[in-house]
Structure 1
Amino acid sequence: MKSEIDLWTTLSRLDVGIFFVVLLITAASVIIGQKLKSKAIQSEEESMLDLLILGRQLTLPMFVATLVATWYGGIFGVTEIAFNEGVFNFVTQGFFWYVAYIIFAFFLIHKIAPYKAITLPDLIEKMFGPKSAKLAAIFNFFNVLPVAYTISLGIFLQLLFGGELYLNIILGTLFVVLYSMWGGFRAVVFSDLIQFFVMCTGVVIVLIFSYTTFGGLDFLRANLPETHFALTGKVGLGTTLVWGFIALSTLVDPNFYQRCFAAVSEKAARNGILYSTLIWFCFDICTTLGAMYARAVIPEAQSGHAYLTYAIQILPDGLRGFVLAGILATILSTMDSYLFLAGTTLAYDLAPKKLKGKVIVHHLGIILVGIISVILAMVFKGNIKTVWKTLGSFSASCLLLPVMYGHIFPGKIKDKQFVYACLLGVVTTATWRNINRPALFVDVDELYVGILTTSLVLFLHYIMSKKKMA
């Protein structure tokens, strides 16, 4: 196998035809979704609910499809980690996240349902107060900026058409901005239905052909470094656990909350998360092993797109086009969700009251998000893993524990205490990230420092409130 390929010379006419047929079917699903929009929607409030959370009519199958599809836009990121570090990818990008999903399903769903919120900051306002909501909205905005996915889409288009990465990032982002503006959350959900099927089928096909062509674990063990089978990879337990805390940021991830708020019932949301977790488990096995096969077969390939280079060469005519469409679907299904939600944060959670929820403001918000994402993609120089760790660390270290404490001890944390805890968490996390640390603490990740800070602030508040009561 070659470590580099020209996609257009590798693909047959059948592959190209199937690739574009999948894209057309996806576009058709968005149009059909718009046609199914209820004619009973008349008031501005009903229109806003339909735009943002599908009028709370998200059924179980649609819930599973959109949640699963939304979570895997960084396929070039996870396969790069698996290519370089093997099983470590499944632990850090899989197992830790399953724990968070199950906690969400069994602990949080029944707690958030009574609030009838529309967005996560809206929920936080009802739990803590308006200042907390504004601060949470700022955190959420940076947490859902689709920077990693604009990079993934840029890499994909660069492989397809060539040219500079930044130009492909701009063109790809422009395309997603346009269709996200047109259809709202309804467009996101209906496109996810098709993308869910294509992306899941695609990664399974790659793994099946890898196994039948090269064999199973014996082949991988004979052709990969021992560290590829170590749970902590090359970095050790401390750094591995950082990813565990980042995974727990799911508990304050606005995409999860948006879909739960949109679900037709509390039961549909809980079961949807559990079914989705099972599918994610299978998906992670396929992507991790697929990337490990790529490392074993073409170790000199560029890690960022080695999985795609490998997959295209191992598959026969027709299936190459289908899997290629599946990889694109994986990226688009996440990018449009994050783009839409970041736009919602600007238009609904951060906009002045008189502009709140206006469709035109939402459209402008999506455009602004697209521009910021492109700029940050260039700032991070196309490094997806760095994007995840940087933005995920702030969300996990500063927002996670205050919100969880609010769920565990409702009414005990006031608006000001929430704000103080989060702001001090930001300051200490950013400071620790940028200072020259003492030798003893050089390996202590900034995420731990942020979590410790927010915990101490809330604990001190608890002690002081106890003394006042005494």
Structure 2
Amino acid sequence: MYQNIMPKIDFWNFLSPLDITIFCLVLVITAASVIYGQVLKNKALSKESNDEEQSFLDLLILGRQLTMPMFVATLVATWYGGIFGVTEIAFNYGVYNFVTQGAFWYIAYIIFAFFIIHKITPYKAVTLPDLVEKMFGPKSAKLTGIFNFFNVLPVAYTISLGLFLQLLFGGELVTNIALGTTFVVLYSMWGGFRAVVFSDIIQFFVMVTGVFLILAFSVSTFGGLGFLKENLPEAHFSLTGGQSWSTTFVWGFIALSTLVDPNFYQRCFAAVSEKAAKRGILVSTFIWFCFDICTTFGAMYARAVIPTAESQHAYMTYAIQILPDGLKGFVLAGILATILSTMDSYLFLAGTTLSYDLAPKRFKGKVKFHHLGIIIVGIISVIVSIIFKGDIKTVWKTLGSFSASCLLLPVIYGYIFPKKIKDNQFVFACLLGVITTAIWRNIERPAPFKNVDELYVGIITTSLGLAFYHLLNRKKEA
């Protein structure tokens, strides 16, 4: 322990009236941005035909008018809601967090910017399943919608929000999750994607500044790398963090699921141009790199200073004790902004999947049904977070594994070999992948394969499914 920094604290004893004022002020500004976005939405719709179809297009993708600065702000802000999960990994494993939650993902972002955007632009799609339908067929679109729904369920972020509220107000985690989710559901319903974007702009500034301040005060208080090396296990500076390379590379494949991540696609579909989307992703990647440096080393300082702290809460507990009055409230608002900016995006997009991609035709495109979809998603997210017992890392790995192993390769092959993969072939390969992934996850594996992750099995069987279906069709045609 250093300078009386404690592993567990009552947060209210460390917050001054100035901190509370600044924290509330950031929340008020965020609320004002949502209201401003709603006013702009009403003005935009009044200039158009104001029919339901145009209204729904504005609700989902802002009428394809997302400029590059707004694109960067909403994309960056959307990607870091699991700050409690990321800092927990860094607290326990050090640099391993930067590799698995940072470096692998940068590769995926760059691939998306240079090799994917120009392929999807001509389709003028609204959602990822809509794009898949235009590439492969209606059955593939429905299956993709189901995968998407589970991929964007904001379970990790409902847990993060619950943990944040629990630290401040105490009580049961489940109660805090339910209350926090209800709040986000209400404002996500009201303003649509425009409200998400405008709130993300404020949250982007606060969250990036907040994590930078934590690292800056850590270095000025305790020193640089020398301090960390003296007070942390050697494994914290290893690329694998003491884990096997096989386990480490699983995160690499999960990162590649960005190539089928509906949040990425939604913002690219909403962008004002292909150039704005491409440049926006590259600028965002640089900002993510800086953000990951701050969160990884900030959590490592927490481990060095208060090693006995509970890993999920350690980063926030540490930050509040090293920052001066005023900045504590700002950083708290930054951590909350990091969670909310991702949670509202995922909540909104999961609601879109229900109301647009999976809904019967008579309900498709109805604004009120989209609102109902968001409510349903909120309820399901709370239930699933209880099932996972608040374990964010397990949520990411479980839901990410299914998406990466079953959906990734068929879509990528579709880009590489356009019009070559048929609707039924796509469905067959994806279903084969999800079945084998689920089986492998739950069976007792023989000794030689005990450490083979289910993601690898899913990727292999999905690829074999595509090849087998192709060969079978060629024989029938012959």
Match of 2:97 in 1: 89
Q: Deviations over 1:346-367 (max 9, x none)?
A: 0000100011010110010000
1:234 to partner: Cα distance: 1.6
The superposition leaves residues 298-345 of structure 1 with CA deviations (integer Å, 9 ceiling, x where unpaired) of 000000010000000000000000000000000000000000000000
8 Å CA contact 2:235, 2:242 repeated in 1: yes
Q: Which residue does the alignment assign to 1:24?
A: 28
1:255 to 237, 260, 263: 263
**Unpaired stretches in structure 2, ≥5 consecutive residues:** none
1:208 aligned to 2:212? no
Q: Does 1:61 align with 2:69?
A: yes
What is the one-letter code of the residue matched to 2:215? L
1:40 maps onto 2:36 in alignment: no
Partner SS for 1:413: coil
CA distance in 2, matches of 1:126, 1:463: 24
- Corresponding residue number in structure 1 for 2:454: 446
Q: Which amino acid aligns with 1:6?
A: D
Match of 1:393 among 385, 396, 401: 401
1:287 aligns with 2:291: no
Alignment of 1:175-324 (within 5 A): 175-324=183-332
Using the alignment, how far apart are the partners of 2:476 and 2:406 within structure 1? 27
Match of 1:112 in 2: 120
Question: Aligned with 1:352: secondary structure?
Answer: coil
Give, in whole Å, the separation in 2 of the partners of 1:281 and 1:468: 51
Q: What whole-Å deviation, never above 9, does each CA across 1:64-88 have from its counterpart, x for those lacking one?
A: 0000000000000000000000000
Distance 1:233 1:289 in 2: 14
Query: Which segment is superposed worse, 255-264 or 451-460?
Result: 451-460
Q: How does 1:328-367 map to 2 (within 5 A)?
A: 328-367=336-375
Q: Which moved more, 1:28-37 or 1:332-341?
A: 28-37
Q: Which amino acid aligns with 1:119?
A: T
Aligned to 2:139: 131
Residue type matched to 2:466 in 1?
Answer: L
Secondary structure of the 1:274 match is helix
CA distance in 2: counterparts of 1:193 and 1:235, whole angstroms: 37
Residue 191 of structure 1 aligns with an amino acid whose one-letter code is: S
**Aligned residue among 152, 156, 171 for 1:163:** 171
Structure 1 counterpart of 2:31, one-letter code: A
In structure 2, C-alpha distance between the alignment counterparts of 1:378 and 1:464, rounded to whole Å: 44
Distance 1:376 1:242 in 2: 23
Alignment-mate amino acid for residue 307 of structure 2: P
Confirm or deny that 1:3 pairs with 2:10.
no
CA distance in 1, matches of 2:404, 2:425: 18
CA distance in 1, matches of 2:435, 2:40: 47
- 33-42 vs 295-304, which deviates more? 33-42
- TM-score, normalised by the number of residues in structure 1: 0.99
**CA separation in 2, counterparts of 1:168 and 1:214?**
34
Separation of aligned partners in 2, 1:36 and 1:358: 21
Q: Deviations over 1:414-455 (max 9, x none)?
A: 000000000010100000000000000000000000000000
| Counterpart residue type for residue 381 of structure 1 | K
Question: Which residue identity is paired with 1:203?
Answer: V
Identity %: 79
Contact persistence 2:425–2:470 (CA under 8 A): no
SS at match of 2:243: coil
Listed as ranges, the gaps of 5+ residues in structure 1 are none
Separation in 2 of the partners of 1:249 and 1:34? 32
Query: How far apart in 2 are the matches of 1:174 and 1:221?
Result: 43
Rounded Cα–Cα distance in structure 2 between residues aligned with 1:158 and 1:467? 61
Which residue of structure 1 aligns with residue 443 of structure 2? Answer: 435
Shift of the alpha carbon at 1:34?
Answer: 1.3
Structure-2 separation of matches of 1:36 and 1:406:
38
Q: Is the 8 A contact 2:218 2:322 kept in 1?
A: yes
- Whole-angstrom distance in 2 between the partners of 1:159 and 1:294: 16
- 2-side partners of 1:110 and 1:469: how far apart? 34
1:391 partner letter: L
Distance 1:224 1:469 in 2: 64
Q: Distance in 2 between matches of 1:345 and 1:464?
A: 33
Looking at structure 1, the residues matched to 471 and 130 of structure 2 have their Cα atoms a distance apart, in angstroms, of 29
1:219 & 1:467 partners in 2: Cα distance? 66
For 1:460 and 1:386, the matched residues in 2 are separated by 32
User: In structure 2, what is the Cα distance between the partners aligned to 1:409 and 1:468?
Assistant: 21
Partner Cα distance (1:346, 1:457) in 2: 28
Alpha-carbon distance in structure 1 between the residues aligned to 2:147 and 2:473: 27
C-alpha separation in 2, matches of 1:416 and 1:119: 21
SS of 2:313's equivalent in the other structure is helix
Query: Residue type of the partner of 1:452?
Result: I
- Aligned residue number for residue 426 of structure 1: 434
Q: How many residues align?
A: 470
Structure 2 equivalent of residue 72 of structure 1: 80
Question: 1:45, CA displacement in angstroms?
Answer: 1.6
1: distance between equivalents of 2:40 and 2:144? 34
Q: Which 10-residue stretch deviates more, 118-127 or 36-45?
A: 36-45
Partner amino acid, structure 1, of 2:18 = L
